[in-house]
Structure formats: C-alpha cells, structure tokens
Structure 1
Amino acid sequence: MAHTQLAASPGHPFYERLNAVLDTEGFDRFVEDRCAKFYAAQFGRPSLTPGIYFRSLLIGYFEGIGAERGIAWRMADSLALRRFVGIALDEYTPDHSTISRTRRRIDLETHAAVFGWVLEVLARRGLIEGKRVAVDATTLEANAAMRSIVGRDTGASYEEFLTALARASGIATPTREDLTRLDRKRRKRTSNKEWKSPVDEDARIAKMKDGRTHLAHKAEHAVDLDTGAVVAVTLQAADKGDTATLDETLIEAGSAVAELAARQSEMPSEAAKVNLNGIEELVTDKGYLSGAVLTRVKSYGLRSYIPEKRQKGKRRWRGKAEEQRATYDNRRRVRGSYGKSLLKRRGELVERSFAHCYETGGMRRCHLRGRENILKRQLAHVSAFNLSLVMRKLLGAGTPRELRNRAVHFILRLFVWLTCQNRHHRAVQLQMAPLAQ
C-alpha cells in the first residue's frame, strides 16, 4: 500500500497554526541552510533533517517534557505531533539517541542563530521593543548527584574523605553514624573550591529555591518589559554571584537588540513594525546591586533601576565619587512612581518566563550534562517560549494545553449562560401564569 493511501490525521489546531507560522517565515529553509555543513552529501546513514530536529525540541516546551527520551516517546505516540514534524505514518519517528546525536553534531552557534531567527519573527510582528530590559536568574538542578562528588585535588569520594578524617581523629572502624556526626561538626562542608562532580564538571554546588543543596547550573534571562519576550539567555556557573554574571547577559541582550535594529533598518519602510533603537533602561532585583555594577551600567549609557538592600549606618564614599553619583541617581529613579512600576512589571514578566520555561516547560531539572549541551537545549526551549507569544497573539493561547483549557472554559461559560437564560425564562412564565388565569 502506498503511503498516500494511508489515512491522515487532521492534526492539532495549535500545531497546525504554528506550522503555518513557521512555513510563512521560511523556517525550514533557514535551518537547512545553516545546518548544511553538518551533513554529508553521499555517505552515512539517513539522518534527521534540521526541520524535524528543531521542531522536536520545540515540542519539549509545548508539551512540558524536559528529557529528549520523553520527546521521542511523545512523538511516537501522537499522530498530531507526527504531522507537526512532518513524519508520515509509514515512517519511524526518531528515537532519543538520534535526537541526542544530532544535537551533538550541530554546534552551539547554530542553535543561537535559530534563537536569533525567532527574535526576528517577533520583531516583524511587533512583539519586541528592546528599550526596557529586565534581568534575573534562577537555578537548574544538574544531572548529577551530590553523593558522587569527588575532591578536586585527590579525586577521593566524599565518604572516603570522611573515613580518613575519622581515622585521623582516633576512630579505627567508623560507622555510618560516626561519619554523619563528624560531618555535621565541620564548617563549609561542600565548597566548590574543594569538590566537583566527576560526571558534570560544569555543575556547581548551590542552594535551590526550596532550600535544598544540589549540584546546579544558573540560567539568566533578559526579558523585554514591554512584551515579555526573552531577548537573551545565558547559562552560568551556579556559584557565581549575580553581580558577576550580569554583564555577559546584558551584552548578549544588547547585541541581539542591535542586530534586530540593523535588520529592521534594511527592511522596506512598510515592512518595519518596530523602531528598535537599543536598550535604554535596565531593571533587576536587589541581588544585582553593587557600586561597581551601577558604575558599569552607567558607562554603558543605560539607566538602572535596581532596588537597594537595607544597610546599617552610612556608607563611606571617600575615593568613590563615581560610585556615589551612580548610586544616588539609581536611588532617585527607583523611588519614583515610574521606577516602582518597572520593578512591579519585572516581577511579573521575568518570573513568568521562568515559570513557563522551567516549571511547566519541564526543564527545572537538566537531563543533559555539560554547559554547551544544556545551553543548546535551553536556547531551543526559550525559542519555543518566544514563539508562544506569537501563538498567544494569534489564538489567545501560547500552548496546546492552554488552548484546550480555554475551549473548556468557553463551553462552561456557554452552559452557565444558557442555564441562567432558562431559569430567567421559567421565572417569567411563573409570574405570567396568574395573570393568564
């Protein structure tokens, strides 16, 4: 039987509309041109096409799946997703090893180019302003266990280290309780300067949002405060402070907005949707505040809105005139009504991007190891989040689950309205009955 004679599924309305957007913008042509150098012309087994590969990673966000194995299972199970990625019923869907191998072959710069392509789509549709940017970070649990850490100098495991300490203290055959008691008395037990993970050396020991200690990575977003689009995303070491990682994310965001502005200026006047002039204002939380950060942000030509922590006593500004001026200017802006509105909007939009990408999006726990691998997956994940803004503008829902929920809510509202109308009609009939008699 020819595959043209097989029954075709109607497809999911959300994914059908998303495919229409990608086809209109020339997504497959773009990724095939960028990935042509990674594919051999004649040799090798049949490979996964770039369009299918990147669509598979988009499914991870829209379906809330963090692992590539789960994405492969979901594609094999769903006729709608087969139609979305372009796999016929007589063809096999890619397994997780094929997706993983393709990710390793395609470099980080190509994934970043796809992220930039999505930003261009948003800019053409008026979903990026690029003037007011908020930066914040969150921790992602690494795919490595704390029990597996080893010493950076000796390579000994943590349990071997404690056993050696116990024997040095006079305990010849220490028990598990002895090791736990000895470990509890030590200060700074898990320092990143002394310990590392043998399976993921980029992971760092850090405290998660819920207070637990894990090996983790640090994801940092730069979000457009006018539209909620993520204009830059970086992956940092979890033991780095916010003041140390801000510049890299801010430079990424500035470069992205500048590139979009350059491309918008090359378009015909009727095609340009937004006048992008570059970042003008930066909004962060208290963790990014320092005199050096305020001075650097001012040197970039940006207005900062960073709230201050409560301090005991007065600061001494001797020899720090530049930091003093930057601090006072920032304080004056933050205390104004406009500054307070920006801080409120930062809490709404930046935290929303974290919730969608890492909580409901399924990437709070990393299933990959190594900074480059995780960043590739993260760039595709955040690109799907940005595409959800386009879908929200077209359909009123950014994910298939939200589209289904809206349909259910509409039916419930319609049912309630019809019930109220019926009750009102009965009440009118009962009031008119005595008059008729």
Structure 2
Amino acid sequence: MSFKSFLGLPLDQAAPDHSTFSRFRSRLSKQAMIKLNSALLAQLHQHGITVNEGVAIDARLVKSASKPVSNDKLTELRDKNAGPDGNLDKNGNPKKFSRDLESDWTIKNDLPHFGLKEHAAVEVENGLILSTTLTPASHSDSTYLPYATIYSMHTDQKIDVVYADKGYAGAPNRNFLAMNQIADGIMRKNNINASLTEAEIARNKSISKKRYIVEQYFGLATLFDDRSRARFTTIVKNSIDAMFRQFAFCNLQKGARILRRLPA
C-alpha cells in the first residue's frame, strides 16, 4: 500500500505485476529502441546540449550468458537448432532455456574469450551514448566504425570528428571519414615500413584524452552486466537490454542533469 501511495497508483486497482517490464521489453524491437533514443538525443540537442561535435568509438568483450563450448560442439548445436524441432524439448514443448548459439570465440591479450562484442559510440563532451550494437566476439572492431558513425547521426548537425584507438587505423576507415567530410581522429600505429614520428606520437596522446570517455561508458556497463556477462542468450535480447541501459541510465539521466546546469 505504501508503494502504491508513493507512485500515485489508485489503491482500488491492481498494481502492475513482476512481469510488466519483461513483457514490455519483449514487445519492443531493436529498431524501436533506436528510434526512441534518437528522439531523446534530438530533443536534448534542441535544448542546447552538444550531440554531434565529436564521437569516440570503441568495443568491449561481453561474456556469454551460457557456458563455453568448443567450436565443433557449437557447430553441432547450431545445425541441430536449425531443424524444425530445434526449439523443442524432449517432450515436444518449447524450451524454457536455449543455449547461446550466437556467441563465438576470440583471443584478447593471449586469453580465449567466448561471448559477444559491444561496439559503442559516445559523444565526447557530455558522454551521451549515440549508438551501440552487439556482434559475435570474433567480429573485427575496425569494420564497425562506419556503422557506429552512421548510427550516431541523430540531428541535422554534421559530426565534426570521430576518435578511435589504433585498432581502427587503416585506409578503409580513413577513406570513409574523408568521403563524409568528418575529421579523422583515429590514432596511428607503427607499420612494417616505418615507426611513428614524434608528431604522430603527440597526436595519439591528444586523441587518447578525448576517447577515454567511451571507457567510462564501458565501466558503467560492466556495473550493470554482472562482470561483463550477457543476461540473455540471443544478440537481439542483449542488444535491447543494452539500449535500455543506454537510454535510461546514460542519456535520460545524464541529459536531465546537464539541462539543470544550463542557464535558463
């Protein structure tokens, strides 16, 4: 009764039950969440909050919600699941739990990892999350820079610059930014023919001071994901879960806090 009173719910009507949020989430699509977040960012922009000046892009690994299996076993399970009875238990009823068949293996810092990878773009001035997407862990960080950049465009204002670490270095991403008239903030790395110059080393240091903000978002995400572990066994469900975090805990809460600081 005290909770209903606090929330302003009628005392003579039934309160929402424990499954209200989960059922609402299951009805939402990934595209619907993208539109919701885009609408919020556009409104923040209309109130004078920077959205598109600079974007920092990076990726983090996310552990699978289920136990790791070998590549051979994973292939076997995927083939079995693709059949007409793949989602049924031994009694012919829909499975209450399905193994994560969309995760895969990668190596980072000489350690094996089974799970997913989150690719995120964060606005560098205020830390607003502009886009996030999940892929199998083996997908290359570098190839998602164009995707993250395009899905960071929530207003008519052009993105000024994209910041990224050395993992995104290379002609394809530099050419993409040049063709779209976006300043190149990608850190440089040594190559076979030449080491970095003093100017390039200094440039990398200045870029690192901008792109650190995406690490802050990943730190927040880790707090909500139990030690960076996915909550669900499909990419779609985990993507929507990440977008709820992006929308509520980052953009809505942070946007309201910034608006309170702006002059009337």
Q: Distance in 2 between matches of 1:380 and 1:108?
A: 10
Secondary structure in structure 2 of the residue aligned to 1:144? coil
- 1:113 maps to 35
The structure 2 residue matched to 1:291, chosen from 171, 174, 199, is 171
1:232 and 2:96 matched: no
Identity of aligned pairs, percent? 20
Distance 2:113 2:9 in 1: 39
Name the counterpart of 2:255. 390
Shift in Å at residue 286 of structure 1?
0.8
Higher relative contact order (CA 8 A, sep 6+): 2
- Letter of the 1:143 partner, please give it: A
| Corresponding residue to 2:159 among 273, 279, 298 | 279
Any conservation in 1 of the 2:51–2:128 contact (CA below 8 Å)?
no
Deviations 1:129-167 (A, max 9, x none): 4121111111111212114865355559xxxxxxxxxxx
Mapped partners of 1:306, 1:334: distance in 2: 11
Question: Which protein has the larger Cα radius of gyration, Structure 1 or Structure 2?
Answer: 1
Could you report, residue by residue, the CA deviation over 1:160-210 in whole angstroms, capped at 9, with x for unpaired residues?
A: xxxxxxxxxxxxxxxxxxxxxxxxxxxxxxxxxxxxxx722221223468x
Question: Do the aligned partners of residues 99 and 208 (structure 1) sit closer, same or farther apart at CA in structure 2, a change above 3 Å counting?
Answer: farther
| Counterpart AA for 2:18 | D
Aligned to 1:192: none
Counterparts of 1:298 and 1:368 in 2: how far apart (Å)? 38
Letter in 2 for 1:388: Q
**Structure 2 residue 210 is the aligned partner of structure 1 residue 345:** yes
Paired with 2:70 and 2:210, the residues of 1 have a C-alpha distance of: 41
TM-score between both structures, scaled by the size of structure 2: 0.76
Measured in 2, the distance between the counterparts of 1:344 and 1:242 equals 20
- Within a 5 Å distance, the mapping from 1:330-341 to structure 2 comes to 340-341=205-206
Q: Which has the higher helix share?
A: 1
Task: Indicate the residue corresponding to 2:104 in structure 1.
Answer: 204
Aligned position for 1:379: 243
**After superposition, where does 1:20-419 map in structure 2 within 5 Å?**
79=3, 83=7, 87=9, 91-96=14-19, 98-147=20-69, 150-151=72-73, 154-155=76-77, 199-207=99-107, 213-254=112-153, 256=154, 260-261=155-156, 277-314=157-194, 340-347=205-212, 349-356=213-220, 358-362=221-225, 364-384=228-248, 385-393=250-258
Contact 2:4 2:10 in 1 (8 A): no
Indicate how the Cα distance of structure 1 residues 81 and 378 shifts in structure 2: closer, same or farther if over 3 A, else same: farther
Per the TM alignment, residue 352 of structure 1 is displaced from its structure 2 partner at its CA by 0.9
TM-score relative to the length of structure 1: 0.48
377-386 or 121-130, larger mean C-alpha shift = 121-130
Could you tell me how far apart the structure 2 residues matched to 1:154 and 1:129 are?
A: 45
CA gap 1:383/1:80 in 2 versus in 1, 3 angstroms: farther
- Tell me which amino acid in the other structure corresponds to 1:289: A
* Structure 1 residues 311 and 334: alpha-carbon distance in aligned structure 2, compared to 1, 3 A threshold: closer
What do residues 83-104 of structure 1 show as CA deviations (whole Å, max 9, x unaligned)?
2xx65566344224x4333322
Q: Deviations over 1:322-349 (max 9, x none)?
A: xxxxxx9xx8985566x743431211x1
CA contact (8 A) 2:119 2:141 kept: no
SS in 1 for 2:152: helix
Greater strand proportion: 2
Structure 2: runs of 5 or more not aligned: 79-97
